[in-house]
Structure 1
Amino acid sequence: MIRKSFKMKLYPGMEEEYAKRHNALWPEMKDMIHEYGGSNYSIFFDRETNILYGYIELEDEGKWAKSADTEINRKWWDYMADIMETNPDNSPVSIDLVPVFHLD
């Protein structure tokens, strides 16, 4: 299992809306995450910086990378684009974090 962590940035004042949308995550999106090998997915929010920190466990990074091109993922990006920093294709601006310590 591959542990992956990343950060994204939420627009100020959008924390409640972000949580609301994720608490009602579409079943198709949940299925896609699992289908492409993602599990144990968590997102944390830093109120001081508006930074979101994501953590996900993956079966295979190559398989996971292909999830970006699914129709449901593109639809989700479009849905979230008004509340967070995004690239021109509406994908979230996401920066991978470098692991420095792990303890089981």
Structure 2
Amino acid sequence: MQLRADFPGVVAEYRKRHDEIWPELAQALREAGIFDYSIFLDEATLALFAVLKRRPGDAAADARFAALDTLPVMRRWWDHMAPLMRVEPGNKPLQWPLPSMFHLP
């Protein structure tokens, strides 16, 4: 994901909004099987890198995870965050995959 360089104080505001994450959004993420979620910032480029961990083998949580994009609370969050980030139509944060280059098991 990518923060917008043209938003004054974007890093502080992004952090503040996440420090104040809405309880109903946090609950939806947990119900989708997410038990650990971190977002990292490359301060030089304002690129964001998100890592989340999910519990395997829970079909109901898998379905809720697949449906996160459709939840009204997620849509409101995207609208809330859109001024700070590069977004797709509908305000979903612009995301792109990063190929794995190394993993030490």
Q: What CA distance in whole angstroms lies between the structure 2 residues aligned with 1:73 and 1:67?
A: 7
> Are the equivalent residues in 1 in contact too, given 2:32–2:62 (CA < 8 A)?
no
Instruction: Choose which of 40, 48, 55 in structure 1 pairs with 2:51.
Output: 55
Sort the Cα spacing of 1:58 and 1:98 in 2 relative to 1 into closer, same or farther, 3 A. Answer: farther
Bigger fraction of residues in helix: 2
Q: TM-score, normalised by structure 2?
A: 0.83
Of 3, 12, 23, the match for 1:10: 3
**How many Å separate the matches in 1 of 2:75 and 2:97?**
20
Aligned sequence identity (%)? 36
1:87 corresponds to: 88
How many pairs were matched up? 97
Higher relative contact order by CA 8 Å / sep ≥ 6: 1 or 2? Answer: 1
Point out where structure 1 has 5 or more consecutive residues left out of the alignment: 1-7
Taking the aligned partners of 1:38 and 1:19, their CA distance within structure 2 comes to: 20
Q: Matched residues in 1 for 2:42 and 2:17: separation?
A: 18
Q: TM-score, normalised by structure 1?
A: 0.84
Structure with bigger gyration radius: 2
Of Structure 1 and Structure 2, the greater strand share is in 1
CA distance in 2, matches of 1:69, 1:97: 24
1:19 is the counterpart of 2:15: yes
CA distance in 2, matches of 1:84, 1:23: 17
